[in-house]
Amino acid sequence: MRNKLSIVVAAGCLVLAACSSTDPGLSISRSLSLVSRGPDASVPGTTTASAPSTQTDANDAKVDFGTNRTPKEYDSYLNNVVADIQDFWRAEYPKVYDEPYREFSGGFFAMYPSRSDDVEACGEKLPFDEIADNARYFSCGDLIAWDDDKLLPDLAAQLGTSAVATVIAHEFGHAIQQRSGVLDLQQPTVVTEQQADCFAGAWSAHAARGESSLVTFTDAEVKAGLAAMVLVRDPLDPTIGETVFEEGGHGTAFDRVGAFQHGFIGGAQACKPLIDTPLPLINLTFTSTDDIANQGNMPYSDLQASVTDDLKRFWSATFTTNQRTFEAPTVIAYNQDGPYPTCDGVTPAQWRSNVVYCPSINLIAYDNDFAINLYSSYGDFSIGYLLSNAWSDAVQTQLNSTLESENRALMNDCLTGVWTKDIVPIGSQSQPFAISPGDLDEVITTALIIDDITGRPPAASAFDRISSFRTGVLDGLGACTKRLAAD
């Protein structure tokens, strides 16, 4: 985040109780019921089910682990994944592209420095150095290879085997693009990557719906798939003015998770148009050498005041535009071990590692030690996101919102997205406060890890929170209220 100069005002429907309903927001299990599916498809708990995938197809390309590799715990799982992905596309490809599916001919290859048998790609030996820290689809040869020395083992260790599956599903998305002719269109890399992420989400929903006898995804495994999108995002580019459309760009975590969710909810058919009509991409670039040096993070000592001042500016102006008056909450910090503020209904355990809004006295209080740790580990907008969610709760309170529990939490995320939309830099236009490269990804990361860090039961799933935040950022206040009112 960075400070600048002037004021921009946003407006929208502010009667949350009237614009919304108590219908649950988008959850992973609820998302499954929204997936585009044919008459044979189903979601868990229904009485009809699509035919499960099997590992009996003679055309299945198998994983080639090499001849001198020490087996890993995920090997059998990986064989199931590649078999199921092929089954999935045998069924989906003709429906999406209205033409026969061509079998995957080149195979899947685990690469590592000591591999003694050669792997050929494009008529030449594929050296490990060309695949290190990566996974790639080679259209000349129709094969997928990955770093089995570090990339996949590290993903499996950090996130679980479902993260490995997500990476393979993404790379197979490029094989689908080769079959459909997309790779011949010379689109920017980020566009084809977005569609491949979408395809990975479509396959993940298939696994989560219980349509496979080989691979089953729980909510936690879908969350791990989202986390994998974060880990394989583009690094912050230390170049002033660098854009997401540069050659080789894969997209931010904000973009990649959004594409995954688009496929998860809409199915493979929803991914097809993304080549001609990509999902919105937010292009944040560094504007100065100082920005690059601090990776877009303002000093922690300035963070509370800067975020608080801008949230007050934004919500006061938005309320005024809607002929209402906003009473800005007081914001204070406290030490993790106390003494704690006094707020009805908040226990000592709830103050630790938390940002709390106390409606009876219009107070926002946050654990300073917790905030410092988040700032050091994830960046400044990790704190900005949590503080904004508390302000969003204050907004709902002053609007007499009737939303509770999960719905209220999701509206908080969406309203935080609305504020974030207002502080996205717009060309050369000066703004009092603006987000920097990496800030949106810090929100995605925080939404994924916050419940694990605090140990408290989640008010809503990470999948839903990210989706709600993205709705606010991309579509604004009106979309937040419509989202929770949708059936």
Q: How does residue 243 score in pLDDT terms, banded at 50, 70 and 90?
A: low
- Do β-strands 63-64 and 135-138 pair in parallel, antiparallel, or remain unpaired? unpaired
Tens-place pLDDT, residues 310-340: 999 999 999 999 999 999 999 999 999 999 9
Vertex 478 angle, CA 475 and 482, to 5°:
100
Compute the residue count for the chain.
487
**Which pLDDT belongs to residue 2?**
52
- Residue 52 pLDDT greater than 80, yes or no: no
**Which pLDDT belongs to residue 119?**
94
**Which pLDDT belongs to residue 61?**
78
Q: How does residue 186 score in pLDDT terms, banded at 50, 70 and 90?
A: confident
Tens-place pLDDT, residues 368-388: 999 999 999 999 999 999 999
- Residue 58 pLDDT greater than 70, yes or no: no
State the average pLDDT over residues 405-423: 96
In 3D space, the residue among 123, 55, 27, 162 whose CA is nearest the CA of residue 464 turns out to be: 27
- Listed as own residue / partner, the contacts of 170-173 with beta carbons closer than 8 Å and 24 or more positions apart are 170/135, 170/196, 170/197, 170/199, 170/200, 171/135, 171/136, 171/137, 171/144, 171/146, 171/196, 172/85, 172/86, 172/89, 172/104, 172/137, 172/144, 172/199, 172/203, 173/197, 173/198, 173/199, 173/200
Rounded CA gap, 28 and 351, in Å? 29
Tens-place pLDDT, residues 21-42: 222 222 333 333 333 333 223 2
Three-state secondary structure call for residue 482: helix
**Which pLDDT belongs to residue 41?**
30
- Residue 394 pLDDT greater than 60, yes or no: yes
State the average pLDDT over residues 205-220: 94
**Which pLDDT belongs to residue 214?**
94
**Which pLDDT belongs to residue 27?**
30
Rounded CA gap, 329 and 389, in Å? 13
Rounded CA gap, 215 and 209, in Å? 10
Q: How many CB atoms lie within 10 A of CB 350?
A: 14
Q: How does residue 482 score in pLDDT terms, banded at 50, 70 and 90?
A: confident
Better-predicted residue by pLDDT, 454 or 231: 454
Buried b (16+ CB within 10 A) or exposed e, 180-214: bebbeeebbbbbbbbbbbbbbbbbbbbbbbbbbeb
In eight-state DSSP terms, residue 68 is S
Sequence-ordered list of residues with C-beta below 8 angstroms from that of 296, at least 6 positions apart, any chain? 1, 2, 236, 286, 379, 380, 435, 436, 437, 438, 439
Average pLDDT, the chain: 84
- Given a contact cutoff of 8 angstroms between Cβ atoms, the answer to whether 385 and 448 are in contact is no
Rounded CA gap, 277 and 195, in Å? 10
Tens-place pLDDT, residues 114-149: 999 999 998 899 999 999 999 999 999 999 999 999
* Helix 75-97 with 161-180: angle, nearest 10 deg: 30
Q: How does residue 282 score in pLDDT terms, banded at 50, 70 and 90?
A: confident
CA 397 to chain centre: 28
**Which pLDDT belongs to residue 283?**
78
Q: How does residue 231 score in pLDDT terms, banded at 50, 70 and 90?
A: confident
From residue 65, give the alpha-carbon distance in Å to each of 74, 111, 114, 158: 12, 8, 12, 22
State the average pLDDT over residues 293-300: 82
In 3D space, the residue among 421, 400, 434 whose CA is nearest the CA of residue 471 turns out to be: 421
Q: How is residue 162 written in tokens?
A: 């479902």
**Which pLDDT belongs to residue 251?**
76
Vertex 375 angle, CA 369 and 378, to 5°:
130
State the average pLDDT over residues 73-83: 95
**Which pLDDT belongs to residue 248?**
56
- Residue 85 pLDDT greater than 90, yes or no: yes
> Which residues partner with 146 through β-bridges?
110, 135
State the average pLDDT over residues 289-296: 72
Radius of gyration over alpha carbons of the chain, in Å?
Answer: 23
- Residue 13 pLDDT greater than 50, yes or no: no
One-character DSSP codes across 328-372: PPEEEEE-TTSPPPP-TT--HHHHTT-EEEETTTTEEEEEHHHHH
The pTM assigned to this predicted structure is 0.85
Sequence-ordered list of residues with C-beta below 8 angstroms from that of 13, at least 6 positions apart, any chain? 19, 322, 477, 478, 481
pLDDT over 90 percentage in the chain:
69
- Which single residue is written with the structure tokens 């959004």? 258
Q: How does residue 104 score in pLDDT terms, banded at 50, 70 and 90?
A: very high
In 3D space, the residue among 12, 29, 208, 177 whose CA is nearest the CA of residue 96 turns out to be: 177
